Amino acid sequence: MEPFENISPLDGRYIGPDETMRKRMSPYLSEAASIRYQLKVEVALLETMAEFGICSASVPESARKAAEDITAKEVFEEERRIGHNVRALVNSMRKRMPENERGFVHLFATSNDILDTSRTLAFRDFASEILIPDLIDLVSVISGKAREYASVRQIGRTHGQYAEPITFGYALSLYVSRIGGRTVALERAREDLRGKLSGAVGAHNALALHDPMNPAIFERKHLERLGLKASDTQVSTQVIEPEAMADFVFQGILAMSAMANLADDMRHLIRSEIGEVKIVDGATRVGSSTMPHKVNPVAFENVKSLWKAFAPRIVTVLMDQISEHQRDLTNSASSRFLGEILAAVDYAARRLGGAMKKIQPDEEALGRHLAACRDQIVAEPLYVILALSGHPDGYGKVRSLLKDARESESTLLQAAGKDEEAAKILEGIPPHQAKVIDDPTSYTGDAAERALHTCDEWEKTLGLLR
Amino acid sequence: MEPFENISPLDGRYIGPDETMRKRMSPYLSEAASIRYQLKVEVALLETMAEFGICSASVPESARKAAEDITAKEVFEEERRIGHNVRALVNSMRKRMPENERGFVHLFATSNDILDTSRTLAFRDFASEILIPDLIDLVSVISGKAREYASVRQIGRTHGQYAEPITFGYALSLYVSRIGGRTVALERAREDLRGKLSGAVGAHNALALHDPMNPAIFERKHLERLGLKASDTQVSTQVIEPEAMADFVFQGILAMSAMANLADDMRHLIRSEIGEVKIVDGATRVGSSTMPHKVNPVAFENVKSLWKAFAPRIVTVLMDQISEHQRDLTNSASSRFLGEILAAVDYAARRLGGAMKKIQPDEEALGRHLAACRDQIVAEPLYVILALSGHPDGYGKVRSLLKDARESESTLLQAAGKDEEAAKILEGIPPHQAKVIDDPTSYTGDAAERALHTCDEWEKTLGLLR
Amino acid sequence: MEPFENISPLDGRYIGPDETMRKRMSPYLSEAASIRYQLKVEVALLETMAEFGICSASVPESARKAAEDITAKEVFEEERRIGHNVRALVNSMRKRMPENERGFVHLFATSNDILDTSRTLAFRDFASEILIPDLIDLVSVISGKAREYASVRQIGRTHGQYAEPITFGYALSLYVSRIGGRTVALERAREDLRGKLSGAVGAHNALALHDPMNPAIFERKHLERLGLKASDTQVSTQVIEPEAMADFVFQGILAMSAMANLADDMRHLIRSEIGEVKIVDGATRVGSSTMPHKVNPVAFENVKSLWKAFAPRIVTVLMDQISEHQRDLTNSASSRFLGEILAAVDYAARRLGGAMKKIQPDEEALGRHLAACRDQIVAEPLYVILALSGHPDGYGKVRSLLKDARESESTLLQAAGKDEEAAKILEGIPPHQAKVIDDPTSYTGDAAERALHTCDEWEKTLGLLR
Amino acid sequence: MEPFENISPLDGRYIGPDETMRKRMSPYLSEAASIRYQLKVEVALLETMAEFGICSASVPESARKAAEDITAKEVFEEERRIGHNVRALVNSMRKRMPENERGFVHLFATSNDILDTSRTLAFRDFASEILIPDLIDLVSVISGKAREYASVRQIGRTHGQYAEPITFGYALSLYVSRIGGRTVALERAREDLRGKLSGAVGAHNALALHDPMNPAIFERKHLERLGLKASDTQVSTQVIEPEAMADFVFQGILAMSAMANLADDMRHLIRSEIGEVKIVDGATRVGSSTMPHKVNPVAFENVKSLWKAFAPRIVTVLMDQISEHQRDLTNSASSRFLGEILAAVDYAARRLGGAMKKIQPDEEALGRHLAACRDQIVAEPLYVILALSGHPDGYGKVRSLLKDARESESTLLQAAGKDEEAAKILEGIPPHQAKVIDDPTSYTGDAAERALHTCDEWEKTLGLLR
């Protein structure tokens, strides 16, 4: 089957036909992956049984060998025949094992002990082996750029209007902080994902047949073997408390929101009229099918667009918080789509990282815009300086000077120079204030230092996550 | 590549590995399908050029032959090389055509003239050839059941509590109406989908080079050839006005909501304690991996669950209503996922239709529940009858009779019999009222007639859509 | 109580403290309004009873008088006492009526016959008296501007990059079409809203006690009196089929999306670097608390922001499509919030209309940007002209000319002039093509004509809705 | 103004007219509250200035007195006049202060330094003083019930079908864990909310005029005074990094989802056919306007319905993660609606708590359902016991015994008794297994112990939060 026959753009366009992408994601997020992770959980369960003396050590050994041999196709066909996915898996294991060992397979477990736990495992592995490293790489790219341009002045914009100056690196460092922060939050949520082995209605019913005194210990040992925890007090229904998974997915989506914001910022800075950012790209791309002169910010558009496609899916996650009684199974199909969200977050991180490597500020454009609003910038520092110098209404004073300036068609500073009160104050100000009045584009606060500090801190923090 | 390596559950589980499903959907909704539809639009454009005398008739002919030969894989690889999807398509066409004909390919068009129009075409065909027939089939199954059980009495439930009686067929006929209504609405929305050939910024700029007097006529002719309309006054940006597509997708989702509601009703009627609906299924299904006695309403659960996964995606559609200026391209990736929604609606319709064929009311359970609330049912007709007979406060009277009944541990009718005022009124009531008092479970209003009427009307209406 | 004590920003900020706004909306969308509309439905029900000879004409007359006297506060307090809202309303009516007339009040009806029908009435009136006129006013403002600037050239933008020219009026006319289209769609959805009088489980159970042969006729007559229709075949549960209301709300939200898009376009055109749109406003506004020089596009920001707050609520509407059996009442509170959505759509329409009145294109900026990309614009017409003149690869030719131009640091036209093949073709082209080559900023297709045509058509169509 | 004139059901129905509710919420979440919190932040800023020696101690003192006097109405009217909300607030302060002190008001700050920080403060206070205590009270009610009924057996349900037994208290204890867990998560998110004083573009531009060496120290001191933190490395745009607020709101919504789930469970257990839960209520409620016999689970329906109305609003929160450059202000209106979400979560918690106090299990119904599936329950323990006793295929064996039972119209245990192999095994099983075989309704695992353990743990944890 060609990937192009697929329905999902993930499988038919973004990931499926791209071998690098597919090989990164498929081992964790595909149907085949979910079978492999389920087998892992079934084998671990038998290992725990052996540890507790319920079966001999040969049973998990046989199961492990059987598992190596089982394909997704085989399980799928067995499921078609019997109409039950986990039982199909179990049958595939059992038929490869000696007759006297078969009875232990899946013992104590309900299907969802396997499904919930294996999904947790797959997502945990995907996060630690793929997604978090990719997010760290992305932060690292942004951080590199933020350092490089920490002192490159840029006009800040609010309401889409020139406001006060910052530095280009400072603006980028905010994304070091935001995406860095989400990476840490995702790691924390990842560590908090839970597994279960509490049976069909959650009360360790079957395990209590083995050990009536403390059935939950078995669950704990089994999950520890997989590197997982159960819910805090080991209560559940047929499914794990859904909140930990919701937290995990939400952090992924928040990371994507921050990426979409960065993508939007880049898109706008690349706009024809702004041009403060350039894409430096050796490739011979076709700009547009009818306008050959254009080079478009497609990677940034793609990241924003994927965010549109995936952010609303958090509502599905919220819907899946609710399940009737010990479980109503209307979360069964919907929760299968969670992996798509993770795939999209990772795809976006990689695509954004690739695009960010190629950006470069255009210092000419940066300078031009700063120059264009040089006289407007000065209003704020002027008012603050007047106030700091003891003027009772610096703000009002500046408003009235602005009016003077408009009327006399001069600049604000010229108007201030002509105004006795203001002129007198400005004469006596300290050098660091005089510098700002002299060159308002230097009114960048602690942007440069703070950009570097932010990069330092997050590189350290994320370095610990590697 | 095995479908199980896919990321999306659509491709890895629900549609991909199921040949019947895949063969129904892939020709309209896959990446490969989108290439084929794009080729169709490019060829039609050349045909219109030939009609207008811009090129000779041999050009569309060569293009048609070229198109037959082109594979998704080839276009994908060319896109990888040059970084532009529609230009890749055009290159694939051009290289198969005589040199002197190549220049006409894609002339006048911007990429999105092809992409928007071909998506409209693909969705329109999918709706008319697959989705609407499947919805009609579904309605037809429900309608058959509604007719069959039009007179089978059932207690109606509000607040999850016994309310007043209806018939089982009546309850089903509501879904004939709701899903039937959405089928008609979907067909109407389908007919309203639009194509375009107005160029990169929507103002027929290129076409006006050919015919400065009325460039829009060319667009109209081209779209007519494809069976499509342009926007009402042929204004656009680079993209078609997005509202028609939003309407279309919304109707699909509303159809799915109605299906999810029916699925929910069935799920609840199948509940152990209610058991008014049974699944009659010859198949040897495994009920549960640890509880072999259970037969579960998995198809109904699946439909509800898919609704959870897809309904929130309408927000993506709303986000894609907004695009900066003549287009910002952040709807590019997100709109590629629209086909998934249609696939899910169709999958749900087929799955629900299959499940509905197997349901059967359990008359014993229906009767048991009616019997259980027989005495409660009577409160409403009693109050209405009292009022119709001129009692100034029928409602209050029944409340006080209910109190009497509770106190004397008798039924409401017994209390009414003992109450002079009530008894006197009841003596004189007409036969159709007496029948209800005598057998409150017959208090089903016009449920049976209306169920049949509803089936008649919608079968007629939908018959016209076939 | 001060409006500022309210929790909702609608009541505490946007509508509540603004008497004009509040007086427009509160009579349709408040709790007090819902009481008034419920009374209207109860009175109409008695009128229908009188028409059918069930009660004397004095009964609806007494009820009408009673209704005039009843306050929301009184009903609220009665509801608090007895715990049922519609019964509280009924009690408030009954106690004002002669004892022998009381029994007819609310006869045949279940609470939701009143609630659903009165909500339909209130929304229908709000739409026809407030929202649709406000939308028409908005379209009319945009149309006025579109006409005024129909021929004012502007560079079109895709990917945020200069693309090909349009006219400013043409860009606006798209919103005439989009918002005009939604106004018509909203009116259509409004006309399709339904009422009901089919009782607690929808099967006209109570009405059949009066007339066993055709109970639905009574429902139809009652609704006609209110100017409403029932569902197509008069089937329902306790609630009306929810799809018509979903359509209505969706159209409101789509109208808001189109408004948000226009707001976004204005925001961006007002950006410091673009400045193609100016806000001409006499008012003495404070631009920013610390940057007194700024005048910000607050109305446009507000419209976009309200869209963010309200668009996702469509998911609640979808959730409310699903209700268990004859109704589960979990749509009771949520559907009360529907009125907020309508209020927000109307508020946005008025605010946007007000803001659009004040905008004005800055022809200097428009000209500057066109000049800046004059040489880039020519690539597309050049390639089309080459192709129309029979060149076998106009597109490729232009790409190669662009390369020449870059290498020789000349313009594309200069490069074309130096290229023998191109120069020869350009010599022979017709005047309308020559004009575009001569002044590429005139390459606006049929933008001007189409803008005017669009205004004509929609003014006519919407005129009919007034 | 009457609350009933409001548009929002929160203000017109649920909170506005209910004095208790309004007095709890309005001081934190209303427009008036936001003014008070803004004043608090402005005063704190002056206190910090005094601490740093920028102004004398009399300035914050005058400001504090001015603040006490200012009403929301006054600020609203000033805002109307000048078109800027924070400047209106500042004007209201200034005019009450001595002329020579006025210049310090709002110095260094941009509007959003006040708005963001004051919203954080208001939400933090609302959470700690109202919402978290209300959640703890709710958990406490549920915990009380979970303890009381820890050993009351109930059949667990999956797929809506009888599964295996649990205890009623165990099912409740899961909500102790889920809502308890969200309470802790909400408290953690609350503590992580951030304030800011970094100016119009986030780079402490104005503060650096005062102290060029370390402007961020001032911000830190100011926020500490309010009990708040800045972002980790004190980077920001005009707004605080939005992720902390998103986390906070998300935890509130997750808490509401868990409440909605509990409400759903209660609704279903109250269903006529199940009747395992009763509402014990002294009040004289009207059950239904036409069916006086019904008592409906309105509080539970209300909680679920509010969840439908508010859960999708998380998408607005996600949209507000994205803001162009240093801020685009399209999050201004939308973020004002965040307080509504908190109000709804709190309202739901109180309403659910009130309803849970009145519930009571019906032991007769519980027993009836357990009895009804007694023979089905035994399948799972039987298969586990067979397996634990060394049978190689316990699961298959039970399936074949079930077939025998069906064919001989006997029970599974009877079939097992007749089967030599099974009978032999059952003879030799230990007492705790024999007990389950003897009384399958005792097959409740560790439900009772775990319910109590869960209550113990969460009461301890939440006790620490009080």
pLDDT tens per residue across span C228-248: 999 999 999 999 999 999 999
Which of the residues C161, C166, C316 would you substitute to probe the A interface, choosing the one with the greatest number of A C-beta atoms within 10 Å? Answer: C161
Sequence-ordered list of residues with C-beta below 8 angstroms from that of D18, at least 6 positions apart, any chain:
none
Positions of chain B with pLDDT under 70: 282-295
pLDDT of residue C284: 47
pLDDT tens per residue, range B183-242: 999 999 999 999 999 999 999 999 999 999 999 999 999 999 999 999 999 999 999 999
| A253 interfaces chain D, CB cutoff of 8 Å | yes
pTM exceeds cut of 0.95: yes
Alpha-carbon gap, residue D466 to D461, rounded angstroms: 9
Q: What is the enclosing helix (H) or strand (E) of A66?
A: helix A58-69
**CATH number assigned to the domain with residue range C112-196+237-367, chosen from the 4 options 2.60.40.1930, 1.20.200.10, 3.30.70.580, 2.40.110.10:** 1.20.200.10
Q: Which residue of C has its CA nearest to B98?
A: C392
| Residue C452: C-alpha distances to residues A161, B233, C171 (Å) | 32, 10, 11
> Would the CB atoms of D336 and C13 count as touching at under 8 Å?
yes
Q: What is the enclosing helix (H) or strand (E) of B277?
A: strand B277-279
DSSP string across B280-293? ---S-----SS-TT
| Residue C50: C-alpha distances to residues B427, C45, C89, C117 (Å) | 25, 9, 21, 20
Residues B330, B331, B333, B336: what is their CA dihedral angle, to the nearest 10 degrees? Answer: 180
Extract the tokens encoding C329: 């009442």
pLDDT of residue D446: 98
Which of the residues D143, D318, D385 would you substitute to probe the A interface, choosing the one with the greatest number of A C-beta atoms within 10 Å? Answer: D318
| C398 interfaces chain A, CB cutoff of 8 Å | yes
Q: What percent of chain C has pLDDT over 70?
A: 97
Alpha-carbon gap, residue A232 to A240, rounded angstroms: 11
pLDDT of residue B284: 47
Asked whether the predicted pLDDT for residue C291 surpasses 70, the reply is: no
| Burial class of residue B37 (count of CB atoms within 10 Å of its CB; 0-12, 13-18, 19+) | buried
For all residues of chain C together, what is the average pLDDT? 95
| D205 interfaces chain C, CB cutoff of 8 Å | no
Asked whether the predicted pLDDT for residue D343 surpasses 90, the reply is: yes
Shortest Cα–Cα distance, B368 to chain D (Å)? 10
Reduced to 3 states (helix: H, G, I; strand: E, B; else coil), residue A165 is strand
For all residues of chain B together, what is the average pLDDT? 95
pLDDT of residue A83: 92
DSSP string across A120-153? HHHHHHHIIIIIHHHHHHHHHHHHHHHHHTTT-E
Alpha-carbon gap, residue A172 to A152, rounded angstroms: 11
Alpha-carbon dihedral sign for residues A256, A261, A262, A266: positive
Q: What stretches of D271-389 show up as alpha helix (H) in DSSP?
A: 298-310, 314-319, 332-336, 338-357, 363-377, 379-388
| Residue B158: C-alpha distances to residues B165, C202, C207, D9 (Å) | 11, 11, 19, 23
| Burial class of residue B128 (count of CB atoms within 10 Å of its CB; 0-12, 13-18, 19+) | middle
- Tracing tokens 């509905």 back to the chain, one arrives at B356
Number of inter-chain CB pairs under 8 A, A vs C: 108
Sequence-ordered list of residues with C-beta below 8 angstroms from that of C403, at least 6 positions apart, any chain:
none
Q: What is the largest CA-CA distance in chain D?
A: 103
Task: Name residues 28-47 of chain B within 8 A of A (Cβ).
Answer: 29-32, 35
Shortest Cα–Cα distance, C332 to chain A (Å)? 18
pLDDT of residue C392: 86
Asked if A96 and A66 touch (Cβ cutoff 8 Å), the reply is: yes
What are the CB-based long-range contacts (under 8 Å, 24+) for A52-57?
A: A52/A210, A52/A218, A52/A221, A54/A104, A54/A107, A54/A210, A54/D388, A55/A101, A55/A104
Positions of chain A with pLDDT under 50: 284, 293
> Would the CB atoms of B159 and D290 count as touching at under 8 Å?
no
Of C271, C292, C301, the CB nearest to A398: C292
Number of inter-chain CB pairs under 8 A, A vs B: 265
Asked whether the predicted pLDDT for residue D22 surpasses 90, the reply is: yes
Of B209, B241, B307, the CB nearest to C433: B209
> Would the CB atoms of A325 and D182 count as touching at under 8 Å?
no
HEC string of chain C equals: CCHHHCCCHHHHHHCCCCHHHHHHHHHHHCHHHHHHHHHHHHHHHHHHHHHCCCCCCHHHHHHHHHHHHCCHHHHHHHHHHHCCHHHHHHHHHHCCCCHHHHHHCCCCCCHHHHHHHHHHHHHHHHHHHHHHHHHHHHHHHHHHHHHHCCCCEEEEEECCEEEEEEEHHHHHHHHHHHHHHHHHHHHHHHHCCECCCCCCCCCCHHHHHHCCCCHHHHHHHHHHHCCCECCCCCCCCCCCCCHHHHHHHHHHHHHHHHHHHHHHHHHHHHCCCCCCEEECCCCCCCCCCCCCCCCCCHHHHHHHHHHHHHHHHHHHHHHCCCCCCCCCCCCHHHHHCHHHHHHHHHHHHHHHHHHHHCEEECHHHHHHHHHHHHHHHCHHHHHHHHHHCCCCCHHHHHHHHHHHHHHCCCCHHHHHHHCHHHHHHHHCCCHHHHHHHHCHHHCCCCHHHHHHHHHHHHHHHHHHHC
> Would the CB atoms of B76 and A10 count as touching at under 8 Å?
no
| Residue A413: C-alpha distances to residues A374, A402, A404, C287, D84 (Å) | 10, 9, 11, 19, 25
Residue A194: strand pairing partners:
A229
pLDDT of residue A466: 83
pLDDT of residue D264: 98
Alpha-carbon gap, residue B381 to C206, rounded angstroms: 6
> Would the CB atoms of A297 and C380 count as touching at under 8 Å?
no
Q: Which residue of A has its CA nearest to B335?
A: A309
Alpha-carbon gap, residue C73 to C348, rounded angstroms: 30
Chains that contact B by 3+ CB pairs under 8 Å? A, C, D
Q: What stretches of A408-446 show up as alpha helix (H) in DSSP?
A: 412-418, 420-427, 431-438
Mean pLDDT in residue range D388-410: 91
pLDDT tens per residue, range D422-451: 999 999 999 999 999 999 999 999 999 999
| Residue A109: C-alpha distances to residues A95, A104, A211, A284, A285 (Å) | 19, 10, 15, 57, 55
pLDDT of residue D415: 94
B2 interaction partners in chain A (CB closer than 8 Å): 1, 32, 72-73
| C305 interfaces chain B, CB cutoff of 8 Å | no
> Would the CB atoms of C205 and B100 count as touching at under 8 Å?
no
Q: Which residue of C has its CA nearest to B155?
A: C201
Alpha-carbon gap, residue D192 to D181, rounded angstroms: 17
DSSP string across B289-328? SS-TT----HHHHHHHHHHHHHGGGHHHHHHTT--STT--
> Would the CB atoms of B206 and C257 count as touching at under 8 Å?
no
CATH 1.10.275.10 is right for the domain spanning A3-106: yes
C319 interaction partners in chain B (CB closer than 8 Å): 311
Which of the residues A257, A269, A276, A291 would you substitute to probe the C interface, choosing the one with the greatest number of C C-beta atoms within 10 Å? Answer: A291
Q: Which residue of B has its CA nearest to A344?
A: B7
pLDDT of residue C296: 86
Nearest alpha carbon to residue B276 among B185, B407, B171: B171
> Would the CB atoms of B260 and C321 count as touching at under 8 Å?
yes
Which of the residues D143, D321, D373, D435 would you substitute to probe the A interface, choosing the one with the greatest number of A C-beta atoms within 10 Å? Answer: D321
Count other C-beta atoms under 10 Å from residue A318's C-beta: 27
| C54 interfaces chain A, CB cutoff of 8 Å | no
Band of the pLDDT at D466, cuts 50, 70, 90? confident
Task: Name residues 135-174 of chain B within 8 A of C (Cβ).
Answer: 156-160, 163-167, 170-171, 173-174
| D335 interfaces chain A, CB cutoff of 8 Å | no
Nearest alpha carbon to residue C78 among C35, C120, C46: C35
Reduced to 3 states (helix: H, G, I; strand: E, B; else coil), residue D430 is coil
| D109 interfaces chain C, CB cutoff of 8 Å | yes
Asked if A109 and B289 touch (Cβ cutoff 8 Å), the reply is: yes
Asked whether the predicted pLDDT for residue D277 surpasses 70, the reply is: yes
pLDDT of residue D242: 97
Q: What angle do CA B254, B260, B263 make, to 5 degrees?
A: 150
> Would the CB atoms of B159 and D273 count as touching at under 8 Å?
no
Sequence-ordered list of residues with C-beta below 8 angstroms from that of B439, at least 6 positions apart, any chain:
none
A276 interaction partners in chain C (CB closer than 8 Å): none
Count other C-beta atoms under 10 Å from residue C29's C-beta: 28
pLDDT tens per residue, range C84-126: 999 999 999 999 999 999 999 999 999 999 999 999 999 999 9
Alpha-carbon gap, residue B100 to B94, rounded angstroms: 10
Alpha-carbon gap, residue C235 to C225, rounded angstroms: 19
pLDDT tens per residue, range D239-254: 999 999 999 999 999 9
Asked if C122 and C40 touch (Cβ cutoff 8 Å), the reply is: no
| C297 interfaces chain A, CB cutoff of 8 Å | yes
| Burial class of residue C366 (count of CB atoms within 10 Å of its CB; 0-12, 13-18, 19+) | buried
Asked if C270 and C297 touch (Cβ cutoff 8 Å), the reply is: yes
A285 interaction partners in chain B (CB closer than 8 Å): 82-84
